Amino acid sequence: MNGSLPLTGLRRDDDPHAGQRVLEHGCPLGAAAAAAILVHGRGASAEDILALADEWELPELAYLAPQAARHTWYPYSFLAPIEQNQPWLNSALNLVQTVLQRALAAGLPRDKIAFVGFSQGACLATEYIARNPARYGGLIAFTGGLMGPPGTRFSYSGNLSGTECFLGAGDADPHVPWLRIEESASVLSALGGAVTLRRYPGLLHTINQDELLRAKRLLSSLTARKGAT
């Protein structure tokens, strides 16, 4: 199933992602055993990230993919000062929150809802769950980490309560330093996440087959676990 879930609100300079479309794919949300919120990278689209659903072949999952305004969630690098990426970053986080609330309203508990992102989308998804820790269905961050300039002292509070978090990236990636991936994994672990960190020697800015397989295993486990509110 492919379709568009309209979001309310008008796009404004202080909320550029307001009203952006959200594509739905896979099992209808109201009938799904679990859901994955897929967050695309810079210059890409919701349609692009939804191609991962076809790779995984998990028919009991609903996939929700928001579309960034102008195909970017925030204008500068994720390593720039947070203030430079405002108000785009807060607007993007608000859109992710809106999509999550849509899945919750359909009757899915948080531990049946996972976040999946690539590149800029992985940074956004990782930043969202660090700022809003709870027991989620999982985090799958392909080549992305927490936001802020080098030397940032990350300070988040709350508990991920064992949320499975997979962070994978190549150590040759020209856009995402491996050190930031390691830092992000440590922060998520300190917040109570069950973190799996994978470093792929020589891998550039892409997703490899091992990452896709690990993601499929995590997502498929959501259909087998009994949900809890």
CATH code for the domain in which residue 121 is found: 3.40.50.1820
CA distance 211 to 82: 28
pLDDT of residue 13: 82
Full residue range of the structural domain in which residue 30 is found: 2-222
- Tens of pLDDT, residue by residue over 64-121, are 999 999 999 999 999 999 999 999 999 999 999 999 999 999 999 999 999 999 999 9
Cβ atoms of residues 214 and 95 within 8 Å: no
pLDDT at position 144 over 80? yes
pTM over 0.95: no
Residue 40 lies in a domain: yes
Question: Within a domain: residue 154?
Answer: yes
Task: Decide if 228 is inside a domain.
Answer: no
The answer to whether residue 227 is domain-embedded is no
Does 5 score more than 70 pLDDT? no
pLDDT at residue 3, rounded to an integer: 43
Count of structural domains, the chain: 1
Identify each DSSP E strand in the chain by its residue range.
Answer: 2-5, 22-26, 34-39, 61-66, 113-118, 138-142, 164-170, 194-200
In a domain, 213, yes or no: yes
Average pLDDT of the chain, as a whole number = 93
* 4, pLDDT greater than 70: no
- 229 domain residue, yes or no: no
Percentage of the chain beyond pLDDT 70 is 93
Q: Is residue 173 part of a domain?
A: yes
User: In a 3-state reduction of DSSP, which class is residue 166?
Assistant: strand
User: How far, in Å, CA of 58 to CA of 42, rounded?
Assistant: 26
Whether 147 maps to a domain, the answer reads yes
